[in-house]
């Protein structure tokens, strides 16, 4: 009996040891081929799944501390589509205007970097209203692991309710322009889709493109995108597929590609590329002014 008990314990210990030695591998960013050919979930769910991996988090080192001084804009609250309170950072045009630029945050949240971008856009574009949407309801991440948690908590229904609330807040006559980076690049395009006939122009920096052709059929504005050839999320293959999809639907997409990695326009990112950032910014401003 003792021998049987000893053998049982030995087998159990061995199994535990082997289980420890052979843990499930850390989830990785899906291959471009799989995203294109074998993964048919909603693109926003795809992003949420990918953003829960260390491979994706490693593309976003901890941002450098930055505090905005002499801010032009002010905090604002408006009613989301579900009746709850939504928040943002707003700069109203000096003269009444129906032109609205929605600024969509990176995965860090509506931090002072995004508020500075909003101030700069307002200064360069002139008589427009700028509204930076707070998609995390007041929460801001300062580390990759905290950003991962906020992305997972930011459910699609809530994000859509905030955006639809912003559209109501801007008014039925508003012309909506969108701009965003990474998480915000994806949601810049999603916001343009939600804006319907009010959409007037979309700017997306290295955001995951929409891959549902039926949804893209409803896009009512031109798009300009800025992507890195060294990026893995989205990869060049995914960007190329986006170009093909837009062309097949007769939609206008201007895709600018740089020899740069993910987050090349973020001064806190090791992939920051000053030349590419300046070129992209000049083209984004020219696009918005032209539209």
- Specify if 251 maps to a domain: yes
Which residues span the domain enclosing 255?
A: 29-290
Question: Average pLDDT of 84-95?
Answer: 97
Tokens of 24: 């499930």
User: Higher pLDDT residue, 26 or 87?
Assistant: 87
What pTM value is reported for the model?
A: 0.87
CB 237 within 8 A of CB 208: no
Residue 290, C-beta contacts closer than 8 angstroms, at least 6 positions apart: none
Does 17 map to a domain?
Answer: no
Residue 46 lies in a domain: yes
Q: Domain for residue 182, yes or no? A: yes
78 class by beta-carbon count within 10 Å (0-12 exposed, 13-18 middle, 19+ buried): middle
Domain count, the chain: 1
Q: Alpha helices of 171-217 — where are they, by DSSP H?
A: 183-195, 213-216
Neighbours of 5 (CB within 10 A): 9
Lowest mean pLDDT among 14-23, 74-83, 180-189: 14-23
Helix (H, G, I), strand (E, B) or coil at 61: coil
Q: What is the mean pLDDT of residues 16-45?
A: 56
Q: Has residue 1 been placed in a domain? A: no
Q: Is 225 contained in some domain? A: yes
200 is a domain residue = yes
CATH number of residue 149's parent domain: 3.40.50.1820
Please report which confidence band the pLDDT of residue 213 belongs to, taking 50, 70 and 90 as the band edges.
very high
* Phi and psi torsions of 202, nearest 5°: -130, 130
Classify residue 222: in a domain, yes or no.
yes
């Amino acid at each position: 009996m003792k021998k049987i008990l000893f053998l049982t314990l030995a087998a159990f210990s061995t199994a535990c040891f082997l289980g420890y030695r052979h843990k499930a591998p850390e989830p990785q960013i899906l291959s471009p081929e799989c995203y294109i050919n074998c993964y048919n979930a909603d693109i926003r769910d795809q992003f949420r799944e990918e953003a829960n991996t260390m491979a994706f988090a490693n593309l976003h080192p901890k941002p450098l501390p930055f505090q905005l001084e002499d801010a032009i804009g002010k905090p604002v609250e408006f009613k989301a589509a579900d009746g709850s309170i939504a928040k943002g950072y707003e700069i109203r045009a000096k003269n009444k205007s129906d032109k609205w630029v929605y600024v969509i945050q990176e995965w860090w949240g509506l931090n002072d970097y995004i508020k500075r971008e909003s101030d700069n856009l307002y200064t360069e574009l002139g008589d427009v209203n700028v509204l930076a949407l707070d998609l995390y309801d007041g929460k801001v991440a300062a580390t990759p692991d905290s950003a991962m948690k906020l992305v997972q908590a930011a459910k699609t229904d809530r994000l859509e309710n905030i955006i639809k609330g912003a559209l109501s807040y801007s008014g039925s006559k508003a012309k909506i322009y969108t701009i965003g980076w990474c998480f915000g690049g994806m949601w810049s395009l999603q916001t343009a889709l939600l804006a319907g006939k009010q959409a007037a122009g979309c700017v997306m920096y290295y955001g995951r493109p929409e891959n549902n052709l039926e949804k893209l059929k409803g896009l009512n504005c031109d798009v300009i995108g800025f992507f890195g050839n060294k990026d893995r999320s989205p990869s060049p293959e995914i960007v190329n597929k986006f170009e093909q999809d837009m062309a097949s639907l007769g939609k206008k997409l201007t895709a600018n590609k740089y020899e740069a990695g993910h987050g090349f326009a973020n001064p806190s990112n090791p992939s920051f590329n000053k030349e590419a950032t300046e070129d992209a910014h000049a083209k984004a401003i020219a696009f918005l002014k032209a539209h």
